[in-house]
């Protein structure tokens, strides 16, 4: 019995040590904008969108006529894309690009758009700080301006973007916005259907190297049940080296909480409001 108790205490200690800091949980009524739940002190703090930027990028792609459906264009992988994940080294479609968070597909899409049109879309969408200049002196605007670089967005702005897209209010065709809504990765959480995109990055150390113990993860999207639609942004920061991506853990944690919700009910325990500072680092792209 003593051994079992000791093992349980060690297990609880390990969970506590690895528990993610909730930077922001923001859930609002998608139509009215009424706040249903807000946690954490970082909902107005700008940070890198990482792979959540694939959502506006998809709207741009459909509006520009480059993306034409869930399965088109199906672009084959090329060695020059230098993907660092085996599941990215395959022919990719708009649907699998969003599902598997394929970085090279984003870069090819941006290149097809061209710098001028890409920049105009980001500005017209009023997306975060709309700064796609990239890393100073690196000439990498079209490669990584949205990946822990110049482009920053707050959780509040993420939710506002989702609400505008769902309402068809972005400066893009209604068909383009509807196409993205239709192919967004979707999950079942209890009686809710939850659609959204993850994003992950590491914090930088003072010397510019990457801190593998400090991952930050996004899950951004919307949830629906019985005619009720909520828009959300969930942002966490981890303080312990772990395998996998913080974005996936953010997604799974929020899905687990949605599964406990009834229609119109928000009975979750409130999280503490931590002090939060802006964090910019390299991506895990999850």
Please give the positions annotated as active site.
Answer: 51
Tokens linked to 223: 């949830």
Kindly state the DSSP code that residue 183 receives in the 8-state scheme. Answer: H
**Which residue carries 């229609």 as its tokens?**
263
Tokens linked to 69: 């459906």
Cβ neighbours of residue 107 under 8 Å, at least 6 residues apart? 81, 142, 143
> What string of DSSP letters covers 60-104?
HHHHTTS--BTTBS-BPP-GGG--SSGGGSS-B-HHHHHHHT-HH
- Sheet of 186-189: strands edge to edge? 35-39, 21-29, 228-237, 210-225, 192-204, 186-189
Kindly state the DSSP code that residue 140 receives in the 8-state scheme. Answer: -
Kindly state the DSSP code that residue 22 receives in the 8-state scheme. Answer: E
Cβ neighbours of residue 90 under 8 Å, at least 6 residues apart? 77, 96
Q: How far is CA 217 from CA 10, 50, 163, 246, 259, in A?
A: 26, 9, 21, 4, 20
Rounded Cα distance between 4 and 227, Å, is: 47
Rounded Cα distance between 38 and 256, Å, is: 17
Rounded Cα distance between 219 and 252, Å, is: 9
Tokens linked to 213: 């113990």
């Amino acid at each position: 019995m003593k051994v079992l108790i000791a093992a349980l205490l060690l297990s609880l200690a390990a969970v506590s040590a690895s528990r993610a800091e909730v930077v922001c949980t923001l859930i609002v009524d998608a139509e009215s904008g009424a706040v249903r739940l807000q946690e954490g002190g970082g909902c107005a703090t700008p940070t890198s969108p990482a792979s959540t930027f694939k959502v506006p990028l998809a709207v741009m792609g459909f509006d520009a006529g480059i993306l034409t459906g869930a399965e088109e264009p199906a672009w084959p992988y090329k060695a020059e894309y230098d993907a660092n994940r085996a599941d990215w080294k395959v022919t990719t479609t708009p649907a699998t690009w969003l599902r598997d968070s394929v970085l090279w597909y984003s870069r090819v899409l941006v290149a097809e758009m061209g710098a001028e049109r890409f920049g105009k879309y980001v500005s017209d969408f009023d997306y975060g700080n709309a700064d796609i200049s990239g890393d100073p002196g690196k000439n990498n605007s079209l490669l990584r301006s949205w990946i822990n670089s110049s482009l920053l967005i707050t959780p509040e702005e993420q939710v506002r973007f989702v609400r505008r897209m769902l309402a068809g209010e972005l400066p893009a065709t209604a068909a383009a916005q509807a196409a993205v809504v239709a192919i967004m990765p979707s999950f079942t959480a209890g009686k809710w259907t939850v659609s959204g995109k993850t994003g992950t990055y590491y914090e930088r150390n003072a010397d510019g190297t990457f801190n593998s113990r400090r991952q930050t993860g996004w899950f951004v999207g919307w949830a629906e049940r019985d005619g009720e639609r909520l828009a959300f942004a969930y942002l966490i920061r981890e303080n312990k080296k772990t395998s996998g991506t913080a974005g996936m853990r953010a997604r799974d944690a929020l899905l687990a909480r949605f599964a406990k919700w009834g229609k119109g009910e928000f009975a979750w325990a409130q999280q503490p409001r931590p002090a939060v500072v802006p964090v910019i680092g390299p991506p895990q792209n999850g």
